Amino acid sequence: MIRQHKKMLVFTSIITLLPIVIGLLLWKQLPDSIATHFGTENQPDGYQSKAFAVFGLPVILLCIHFICVVVTNIDPKAKNINKKVFMVVLWICPLVSLLVCNAIYVYNLGYQLNIGFLCGLLIGVLYLILGNFIPKIKANYSIGFRVPWALCDSDNWYHTHRFGGKCMMVGGIVLIVTSPFQNVWILLVLSIIPCILPVIYSYLYYRKKFPVRNTEILRRIRV
């Protein structure tokens, strides 16, 4: 897949590093110590040097970007990952880099910024995107709810991801609607629930389909 999307990989990598250019343009206005982490009350509780904030964060996100792409590419079932889903993989880190790094710049330039609101909005939009694509994903080891009960049963995978897509869509809407009132704990709970429910659903589906201990299924799960 990398060979087929080489130009897009280069382009998204450039976008991921774009905050470095913006940071250099704002270099003189930015303080020497940059707030990069925020606590439960949207107050900064972690600081980094200006050089790390401008150069380090985008580079770290670029490394994560490459890891996600490579892991998806070497998946033994990569043929089940269609072009649209791979495009989502290519664009997640670049968009996160743009939004997160620029939000950090804006806050450290002295502008009022509700970090909880931005995080809720970002995760909500991401869940809406994922919720649209997850039901269309075929079985693979890189993307989706890769629990053993789903990987060993195509019906389980299909129904789990249809249910998971609905959970992501509802979760995304709730996160966006409640984003103006977010704090870290509410954000954490609302972010985790759409990820846990499909796992529980997958296990219950497996138990319903195989109520009697099936040695072959169990053997495949262990593998």
**Domain boundaries of the chain, sorted by first residue:** 1-113, 114-223
Per-residue pLDDT of 148-164, as tens digits, reads 989 989 999 999 999 99
- CA dihedral sign, ordered 204, 209, 215, 218: negative
Percent of the chain at pLDDT > 70 equals: 93
Task: Return the amino acid letter for 160.
Answer: T
pLDDT at 61: 96
Q: What angle do CA 171, 210, 159 make, to 5 degrees?
A: 30
List of residues 6+ apart from 76 with CB closer than 8 A: 141
Instruction: Label the pairing between strands 33-38 and 44-49.
Output: antiparallel
Q: Are 2 and 69 in contact (CB under 8 A)?
A: yes
Question: What's the pLDDT score for residue 218?
Answer: 53
Decide if 62 contacts 32 (C-beta within 8 A). no
If pLDDT is split at 50, 70 and 90, which confidence band does 214 have?
low
Cα separations in angstroms, 133 against 81, 83, 128, 195: 11, 11, 9, 15
In this model, does residue 78 exceed pLDDT 90?
A: no
178-211 pLDDT, tens per residue?
888 877 788 889 999 999 999 999 999 998 887 7
